Amino acid sequence: MYNKVLESVEYLKSKISFDITTGIILGSGLGNLTNFIEDKIEIDYSEIPNFPHTTVEGHDGKLVIGTIGGKKVIVMKGRFHFYEGYAMKEVTYPMYVFKMLGITQIIISNAAGGISERFSKGTLMIINDYINLFGTNPLIGANDERFGPRFPDMSAPFSRTLMEKAKSVAEKLGIKYSEGVYLGTTGPSYETVSEIKMMRTLGADAVGMSTVPEVIVGNYLGFKILGISCITNMATGLATVPHSHEDVVTTAIKTETDFCNWIVKIIEEIGE
């Protein structure tokens, strides 16, 4: 895997003439953040050696590289999911590429279902912890110490510094936000009423089908991570209509203005 990552990195470095320290992963319906990128370079995932291809609506499948608020960024416009049939190492492959590109901090976003009754459709939630219900772990298998330690610590998977910066920026911009625990599960089916009751009992505030594998690998690789969920639907038992991916994407798009303004200002303030 190390050599495969090197091959991907060498290709990207042939397209990029500057250093980047901030990476961003965009969830379903949140792709318009790339409209705020200046001097951008767009690279289809299909062009990058060893990179998987995204298959989900709302995930364009491009790396967008350029400048936001004077800071160099690399943005994944579309991610990979376990439910697409990818192995966990493939789902999290971009994280290894980011590490070897010199990235040190990552903002991870997602569309999620709201479990907490404090939420409503369109709520933006800073993720302060996660619960892994994928039934597996992306670090299972032989460990390559060139990437990270065999047994990485997960006592603070999200950067307290970045979380406080996000809160400060939200208050300056007048953006309403909440905070809570994200629970990751495989999908692609939505959860049952009983499953949501169980998740609430476990302490989850939101549920989704991504993010947790990336956060685990991100901590393993030594990234500072900020996680933000867009609550695009209320979970089963709280929702008044059946779930659909189209509705998820529609709600995310409606929330994009606040989301984009928030992320842009965070990037401006967190520095290189």
Give residue limits of the domains in the chain.
Answer: 2-270
Give the Cα separation of 158 and 223 in Å (integer). Answer: 9
Task: Count the helix, strand and coil residues of the chain and give each as a percent rounded to the nearest 5.
Answer: 35, 25, 40
Q: Give φ, ψ of 32 to 5 degrees.
A: -70, -5
What average pLDDT does this structure show over 223-245? 83
The pLDDT confidence band at residue 79, using thresholds 50, 70 and 90, is very high
Q: How confident is the model at residue 272 (pLDDT cuts 50, 70, 90)?
A: very low
Q: What is the pLDDT of residues 18-64, one digit of tens each?
A: 999 999 999 877 778 999 999 999 999 999 999 998 776 655 789 99
pLDDT above 60: residue 158: yes
Q: 170-222: per-residue pLDDT in tens?
A: 999 999 999 999 999 999 999 999 999 999 999 999 999 999 999 999 999 99
pLDDT higher than 70, residue 253: no
Position 248 confidence tier, pLDDT thresholds 50, 70, 90:
low
> Which phi-psi region, left, alpha or beta, contains residue 23 (left: φ > 0; alpha: ψ -120 to 50)?
beta
| Assigned fold of 2-270 | Rossmann fold (3.40.50)
Mean pLDDT of the chain: 92
Measured CA to CA, the distance from residue 202 to residue 198 in angstroms comes to 6
Integer Cα distance of 112 and 110 in angstroms: 6
pTM for this one?
A: 0.93
With beta carbons less than 8 A apart as the criterion, state whether 79 and 187 touch.
Answer: no
